[in-house]
Amino acid sequence: MFRKKLAVLFLPMLALSFVVPTGTAPAAPSVTPAVANGQLEVCGVKLCNDQRQAVQLRGMSTHGLQWYGQCVNDASLDALAGDWGASVMRISMYVQEDGYETDPEGFTNLVSSIIDDVTARGMYAIVDWHMLDPGDPYHNLERAKTFFSEIARRHGDQTNLLYEIANEPNGVPWSRIKGYAEELIPVIRAIDPETPILVGTRAWSSLGLSDGADESEVIDNPVNASNIMYTFHFYAASHGDEYLNALSRAADRVPMFITEFGTQEYTGDGQNDFTMAQRYLDLAARKGISWTNWNFSDDFRSGAVFTEGTCPGGPFAGTSRLKPAGEWVRDRIG
C-alpha cells in the first residue's frame, strides 16, 4: 500500500539526488529518497539503505506541532521535498506544553496524517517524542508506550520511518535513559520490528557534556537493543569544540544521528555562528552522520527558517521568505 501510494502521488519535480549514499553516485534521477533507499537499517556505526550502503539523510525538524502545525502543509512539504531537496522531516510532537498529553488521540491522528504527507513526497519521517520538561523520560513512559504502539500499528509496515523515543532527557543519569529505552523498545518492536529507533542522550542529548560527563558513558554502557542510534543536539553559537570533538569521537564508536541543531544559541535565537555550524556539518559529511535542523516554522526567533507571517500561505519555495539561517540550511540540505 505504501509503494502504491508513492507511485500514485509521485511528483516529477522530485527528480533530484536527495540521498547520497556515501562514496557512491547519487541516487538515480526520478526516484525519491525513500524509494531509492528503502528500509533503513543501522549497520555498524552507520545508517544504511536496503542495499546496505551508508546513507546520510538531511532535512528539517518541524517546530512544536501544537504551536506551528500551520507551517506543515501541502505547499510547505512540496517545497521541502522539491525546492529544498530534503530527504527527511522530523515531526516534533511535544508531550507537555499543551502537546500530546492534552489530547492523545488528536495528536496521534495529526502525526499520523503528517507521516502520510511526508511519505507521499518520498521523504523519510522521524517521529519525535518531544519530551523536554520534565526531563525524566520515565515521566512519560506509559504515554510513550501507547503512542508508539498506535503509530507502529498504523505505519509499521512502511519503510520510511525512524522513531525518536526521547527528544532531550535532562536532570537524570544515563542509566535512567537506558532503562527507559530498554522498557519501551521491546513494546515497539513487538509491533514493528524493523524501524530504526533513535535514543536521546544525557543532558539535552549532548552525550552528557552539558552535565560535565562525556560520550564514554554511552560507549561503555550501550542500550541493550539492535538497530538503534543515539542522538546528539548542538547549537553552534553555544556549543564549541568540546562538543564537536565529543561527537566526532562518539561517531567512530556508536551510531549517531543529529536530530536537532541550530546555527545560533541554544535558545534557538540570537546571532548565527555559521563558521562553527559549518564545522559540524563538515564533520557530519565526513562521517556520514544524518541531520535535521531546528526548525521549519515562522516563529520570531532566528532559528526558525521562515520570516514571521509566512505560514500558512507561503511562499515556501525559493528564498524570499527565509531568514539568514533558513537560507544557510536550505543551501546545505539539497
Interface residues with ligand IDC (CB under 6 A) are 97, 132, 167-168, 204, 233, 235, 260, 266-268, 294, 299, 301
The answer to whether residue 194 is catalytic is no
Task: For the CB of residue 310, give the shortest distance to ligand IDC in the complex, in Å.
Answer: 16
Task: For the CB of residue 4, give the shortest distance to ligand IDC in the complex, in Å.
Answer: 35
The answer to whether residue 260 is catalytic is yes
Here the cell at position 332 is 546545505
Closest CA to 126 of 281, 245, 293, 5: 293
Considering the complex, state which of residue 18 and residue 147 has its C-beta at the smaller distance from ligand IDC: 147
- Which one of 164, 168, 215, 265 is the catalytic residue? 168
Distance CA 142, CA 137 (A): 10
Here the cell at position 267 is 535558545
Task: For the CB of residue 264, give the shortest distance to ligand IDC in the complex, in Å.
Answer: 9
Collapsed DSSP state (helix, strand, coil) of residue 322: strand
At residue 5, φ and ψ (nearest 5 deg) are -60, -40
Considering the complex, state which of residue 243 and residue 266 has its C-beta at the smaller distance from ligand IDC: 266
Considering the complex, state which of residue 273 and residue 299 has its C-beta at the smaller distance from ligand IDC: 299
Closest CA to 185 of 227, 122, 217: 227
Distance CA 33, CA 15 (A): 10
Considering the complex, state which of residue 180 and residue 204 has its C-beta at the smaller distance from ligand IDC: 204
Task: For the CB of residue 299, give the shortest distance to ligand IDC in the complex, in Å.
Answer: 6
- Which one of 164, 215, 217, 260 is the catalytic residue? 260
Distance CA 63, CA 35 (A): 26
Name the residue whose CB lies closest to ligand IDC: 268
Distance CA 219, CA 149 (A): 28
The catalytic residue positions are 168, 260
